Structure 1
């Protein structure tokens, strides 16, 4: 019994000990709390640019001291911080656990704390299509001629770096580097970039990438472009005239950028993807914005994006805000998640957001079927040898035993059986895996050619890719004809012709199906995208480090290639902005944006309304204010101007805390009592949840000669719009006039706007010479459709 009691006592003591141990650990900070990298954003610095250099060390120390108050020591703070933003942007990037981040976010001097997330990477004939030249001849009235081709302008590019050996970046004929340039070429090892008088800067930023598990080695510690995306976008914005540009000897022509005499600088912020998190991390993006502002760029081209989010938790929105404060115009891609509604990204009102559309050039590659059908497709590839018909099968018919028919139809890697595919033309369905990868997988399985068929979602949008094997990309309707033929006979046969260039195609432009669409999910009252520009089958510079198919088995190299995406349309606008900055150095970023938007066109070269990728009438949610017209933008007549305080008022109207907004401004600031989204002086007019009627105020500035402008309204369906006054008389350049629009659901017995749907109209001011057009977008105050819910949607922006 004594032994039993002894055992029981020991058991009770053990239970008590375990209970005490549990209580003890409940009150301890977890020793192994998950660490992640965060951005701590604190607004703008109080020091000016003139004393920034002397303040760098002081600012870093202040960041260390600030973080030490949360982590317990300066040593731990120094170890945690991997970027201090010390010049224009105030804040730092650091490795923290969730509890530490939450505590810091509550501090009154902190604007926001957000995870260091990854964003995704989102020419020859295009400038002819936009009338900067005509058949290679530059008219004296062209913006190119008027703006000296962008001479003296500096264009920066946040992307995958630069291939400096490209002729697009040769400095032959260039004089001394502009004295305003304060940047440099970051050379660390033999793989790095050597700059010249054209390519005047090249830097890389990878600490945020590394903090998320990215491997840092010789290829990720250089501004050299091993991807090709950055060289393509930078040369589109500011590349030289390069005669004889071709892709594997096909389509010989002259490549050129929008501002071919501008100087360019590469800021490498995008790296090989980590899982599916993205290629471009917030911390690196902010550091690059800091560097570009300090270096003295005039224009920043940013062809990347992520999920639409709160403006103060978005590195691109934050960085571009500080850039615009310093007079830098920031142009961003809209994203490649179309044609779904509400997918547009980079929606801050101080950014120029660009959608993608086509030009009037096609690379025709025909599919000939043994039943006599001849179907026009597109690609950049050679013809099938022998001039004879080949057996034709679908991906599903060529599937491997362990693969699904659906995956084989997509021609995914490992889904095709070489015994079934060898020697045949393979018909693959578009979707999921990359278009060029499908051709490579077909070739690996032994196919002699590929027919790439659109699905219903991608409709009529076909892309001229430099495929590894003879190929042709067909529309949805034509693809159905191919599959129908395959299924109608026991012995289907086909042939693929060589690619040929075809100009002056119609209709053009039309919107690319991949181009992300509105409405703006963050602020529905701001129409996004702002403008559209060429983004399909764009020829520009490429890297010498890999093939255009990106497959290691493809050993081909080309100095130029075609790419498609809003990544390609963005630098077209950046190049035009460079020209406008040269011609009008006194214009604000908002004035330049307004000039581009209000002179855009909404009709194609058949003089009919612009269409979408399914050849249905497009709306401003696809093209914004329209397709860019550079020559019109240099003389817009009137502009809708904005300054930094207007953007602060905008944040006030959104309900941001005044003390938080104060951190943006070096000067004393208080939110005005009448701050209103309706009266934000944007060049487009969007009313969400209209109930009854609203009155909208706008101010226009005359940037032309004295003139009298009259208003004309195209009413949205079911909506009445009136303007007061409807005549504006300007007696001098720089004079401003205000007007009001009253927008109401019709009450005169006519049919009103459909509940919950958006309807579209326009306001046009004209003096007979200038046509200043603003889109009007209205939705009624009924239950909104799924496409207009104010929730941030998942953005899986892909490179197309």
Structure 2
């Protein structure tokens, strides 16, 4: 190992006892190492804390200097995931053991790019491990999940974690599809090579190239064994995305003899197109353009097509928008806590990669590259972890909740056109998609005010969540007596969610701590539709750092007719320099 790497990577451990309980004896040496044989860990860790590395690219695309969010940080890795057994790769016992090791090692920030279905806090190993980490002053940043855009899919919903959804960035890897009727469609790709020659090729749909024993749906999705190579050879193959592996479709197209592949989204995946290092020339197009290509194939005697070699485009607009796959709120475990908390770049992110696998992780992919492009909330999570590391350096005495608050309250809900952030359907996104907004690292350095929380606040939340003494003891080191009266309306979270506003008003209490210069803050409210919002006091004067002040927010319904479900607004405290913003999420309910 190079000396520079020794001073960067200062810890590497693996945990497999939970995995071995189900797998049996682990004879292979690949189970007795912290080395990354998959690429996911290398990618996420380098995103959080990688050094400055010039000349980083994926097959020459996106060439530039790569760095992590905290490039001068020392990093440690804790491997808990292994080849799947019964569909599971990361077992609770190993996750808990890794948290214990990280706590013992004295890390400052834990970046956790894994998760499962949202479950109760006491049933979630990540939630329990994260609670104990926060008790030791460690901020835990986690991924929100990749089950969007359906509502109620967000995972890692514990209030002591910083939960990160995924957004796009203003860089695209563009490959155009040219059809024989002179129509040009914009797609995305990171294919290593272009078409064999600059000419049009016959175009065929997977449905028209089905093998004798395959269904039309299987062939259209280019599933293994579903294509007739005699029909495909020498042609550009059209494949429908659906749920099975995108790169795997390219592999099937290549095995069938295709010279290229057009991968089109189904309706569910909409406009989210991903640039990936396909095994053959390929272009990923959206649902609308996919329908156009199918219509062209079905109405043309000899359909033809050509695809351009990918190019890197910078400064694309609008950006960011919320990735289609990014899991959405509301929080199904505790709806009074808004999740996700924040969004950060998670689409087509270039970072370090293992050279034990090809960039597609497919068996037939013999290519080896030191950097790869990946997409997911696993990629957005370490962006925020890196920012948290910088904030910990600037403010070493801040609590995990203070760092989290600074990141959330300084986030932006506008894109680079200064328009509201949208989702992949081009509709205005809501806090269920982006939480407090898109992370703004420079603003987070000086948030002005923060919403702080202690471990006792989290225990009080568990009390209010109706956990009994034995369940609370899973989180507390000692017996904890719940307060006689504690309302989740008083839980000092940086966002405000009221899932049950009926005929009666609801009062929310918050406490802010001054971490900036002295000043007078005035409140500005954008009330959710059908809600009257009043804040008392409406003005707060801070004289010294560390000064705390309490305010109350009263929300009263003014809906005429049938309630309309969730509505959204915002509350902002500002002294003219700082803008301390909290999303307001309210659900109108009947009495």
TM-score normalised by structure 1 residue count: 0.72
Other structure's SS at 1:400 match: coil
User: Where does residue 8 of structure 1 map in the other structure?
Assistant: none
In 1, Cα distance between the equivalents of 2:425 and 2:23?
41
User: Where does residue 284 of structure 2 map in the other structure?
Assistant: 473
Pairing partner for 1:342 from 141, 149, 152: 152
Deviations 1:684-707 (A, max 9, x none): 000012122110100000000111
Shift of 1:338: 0.4
In 1, Cα distance between the equivalents of 2:338 and 2:545?
28
Contact 2:122 2:474 in 1 (8 A): no
RMSD: 1.4
Shift of 1:309: 0.9
User: Where does residue 694 of structure 1 map in the other structure?
Assistant: 506
Shift of 1:723: 0.4
Shift of 1:482: 1.1
Other structure's SS at 2:203 match: strand
Other structure's SS at 1:306 match: coil
Deviations 1:206-260 (A, max 9, x none): 1101111266221111101000000000000001111011222333211110001
Pairing partner for 1:493 from 290, 297, 304: 304
1:318 aligns with 2:128: yes
Structure 1: tracts of 5 or more residues without a match: 1-164, 173-194, 784-800
Pairing partner for 1:738 from 550, 554, 559: 550
User: What are the residue-to-residue correspondences of 1:100-119 with 2, within 5 Å?
Assistant: none
User: Where does residue 250 of structure 1 map in the other structure?
Assistant: 61
Contact 2:122 2:471 in 1 (8 A): no
User: Where does residue 710 of structure 1 map in the other structure?
Assistant: 522
Shift of 1:757: 1.3
In 1, Cα distance between the equivalents of 2:469 and 2:520?
40
Pairing partner for 2:116 from 306, 320, 324: 306
Larger Rg: 1
Deviations 1:399-435 (A, max 9, x none): 1111111111111111111011111101111122111
In 1, Cα distance between the equivalents of 2:560 and 2:310?
51
In 1, Cα distance between the equivalents of 2:318 and 2:25?
46
Deviations 1:149-169 (A, max 9, x none): xxxxxxxxxxxxxxxx7xxxx
Contact 1:355 1:532 in 2 (8 A): yes
Other structure's SS at 2:31 match: coil
Change (3 A) 1:214 1:607: farther
Contact 1:678 1:697 in 2 (8 A): yes
Shift of 1:332: 0.4
In 2, Cα distance between the equivalents of 1:537 and 1:215?
38
User: Where does residue 198 of structure 2 map in the other structure?
Assistant: 387
Other structure's SS at 2:85 match: coil
Pairing partner for 2:376 from 565, 569, 573: 565
Pairing partner for 1:684 from 480, 489, 495: 495
User: What are the residue-to-residue correspondences of 1:88-487 with 2, within 5 Å?
Assistant: 171-172=3-4, 196-213=6-23, 216=26, 217-276=28-87, 278-381=88-191, 382-487=193-298
User: Where does residue 65 of structure 1 map in the other structure?
Assistant: none
Contact 1:411 1:442 in 2 (8 A): yes
Other structure's SS at 1:289 match: helix
TM-score normalised by structure 2 residue count: 0.98
Other structure's SS at 1:305 match: coil
In 2, Cα distance between the equivalents of 1:663 and 1:396?
54
User: Where does residue 610 of structure 1 map in the other structure?
Assistant: 421
In 2, Cα distance between the equivalents of 1:380 and 1:341?
31
Contact 1:756 1:782 in 2 (8 A): no
Structure 2: tracts of 5 or more residues without a match: none
In 1, Cα distance between the equivalents of 2:235 and 2:24?
41
1:670 aligns with 2:481: yes
Shift of 1:576: 0.3
In 1, Cα distance between the equivalents of 2:203 and 2:563?
50
Deviations 1:569-623 (A, max 9, x none): 0000000000000000010000000000000001111111111111111100000
Pairing partner for 1:764 from 569, 572, 580: 572
In 1, Cα distance between the equivalents of 2:488 and 2:99?
27
In 2, Cα distance between the equivalents of 1:646 and 1:264?
30
Other structure's SS at 2:262 match: strand
